[in-house]
Amino acid sequence: MSVERTIPSPTDVGALANRINFHTRDMHNKINAYMSMKMAFAMRHGSIYRQGIVAYYYVFHAIEQEIDRLLQDARSVQDERVKGILQQFWCEEFRRSDKLVMDLQVLYNDEYGSANELQEFLDTFELPMKLRQFVDEIHSNVQREPHTILAYCHVLYLALFAGGRVMKSNLYRHIGLFPQFGHLTHREVVQRATNFFTFSEDGVDDENRLRWQYKRGYELATRKDLSEAEKLRVIDVSSDIFQWNMEIVAEIGEINRAQLMGKFSYKLVSFLSEEWKYSEKLTPELKKLVVFALVVFNMVFVYTILRRFL
């Protein structure tokens, strides 16, 4: 292994990335377990999964707005110093907001058939409370303390590097998740809608190169160019990011639960039908409840249609 691939060494206790990982280890393990459980559930329901993609569009869009501001319009000494750090490891291959839009064009194709319609939806979408608070905090933190952008750069982008391949593997195993998209097969749709998790079209080796380039540049830039107080603040914000991730995912779950339970609707029946496909672990009692709900809905649906034409 070359020298550049060993920076920072996993045993380098002075490396900011290693310090972040050490201080957030418990939160990291907690959210891994939490997200695995939630993702296994969301993967059964395309309408819920894509809400998560929408949420992370706003998160990464906010981060990249602040990165662009620092790189293109630095206005203070602190901004200029952080700009110099970013220039040592940031490159366009890491940008995710554009990739998320590409995925959303597939996932929301039935509702928003053109790029302009989708953008209008994103521009006018009312963010749920927790998501809005997280987005606002990103802007507030970075504009007040520019060095905090380094927390978001480490935690969220490296999480995608590490987990992206796992996510894509899960998506391939659930290729029925996505809607039809023109003449494309389900597998082709999945390939079109996983840009969020893809950092290079040239394969795993090139993604590994980008990952190590990112980590090496991040470490060399932050080791001497940040004060100890600034490093501690970056670590604190990194811990907060894990909590915010859990809260915005939980919020998506609460919103869907309220909508499903609020009225007996087609959406509820679609939800029950999708759950039935993955019902191997359901108890006999729960299976009976699902069957009963579907039968009742069919009766109500037929009655409603008959009333219209008789």
**pTM over 0.85, yes/no:** no
pLDDT of residue 244: 94
145 in Cβ contact with 235 (< 8 Å): no
pLDDT of residue 37: 59
Chain mean position to CA 218:
22
Distance CA 51, CA 56 (A): 9
pLDDT of residue 17: 92
Helix H or strand E encompassing 253: helix 228-262
Instruction: Using alpha carbons only, give the angle 188, 190, 192 rounded to the nearest 5 degrees.
Output: 70
Chain mean position to CA 136:
17
SS3 218: helix
Q: Is 182 left (phi over 0), alpha (psi -120 to 50) or beta?
A: left
Binding residues: 28
Count other C-beta atoms under 10 Å from residue 248's C-beta: 23
Residue 153, CB-side half-sphere exposure with 13 Å CA sphere: 31
pLDDT of residue 49: 83
pLDDT per residue of the chain (310 residues) written in tens, 0 to 9: 444 456 788 788 789 999 999 999 887 777 666 666 555 555 566 777 889 999 999 999 999 999 999 999 999 999 999 999 999 999 999 999 999 999 999 989 889 989 999 999 999 999 999 999 999 999 999 999 999 999 999 999 988 887 777 777 766 666 666 666 666 777 777 788 889 989 988 888 899 899 999 999 999 999 989 999 999 999 999 999 999 998 998 898 888 777 666 555 545 555 555 554 555 545 555 555 544 544 454 444 444 434 444 4
Binding residues for heme b: 28
pLDDT of residue 48: 79
